[in-house]
Amino acid sequence: MRYEETEVGICKECGCTLTTPCIDQKFGSCWWMDKNQNLCSHCFYGLNMEEVDV
């Protein structure tokens, strides 16, 4: 099993950081969901997923 290394303080999904967080009008800015600071709350909860009209 290969361990993928990511930089601390950069979200592995969207690339946000402490100085450039994700912003949502309803929920505000994101926060870190893990101690390694590799996953932000918006990616964890799916807030960064684009809505698709069918």
Domain boundaries, the chain: 8-48
Quote the pTM value.
0.75
pLDDT value of position 7: 75
Tell me the mean pLDDT per 10 residues along the chain, length 54: 68 95 92 95 88 51
Q: What is the pLDDT of residue 1?
A: 47
pLDDT at residue 52 in the model: 44
Do residues 48 and 34 make contact, with C-beta atoms less than 8 angstroms apart?
no
Q: What is the pLDDT of residue 44?
A: 95
Residue 49 is predicted with a pLDDT of 80
Phi first, then psi, for residue 28 (nearest 5°) are: 80, -155
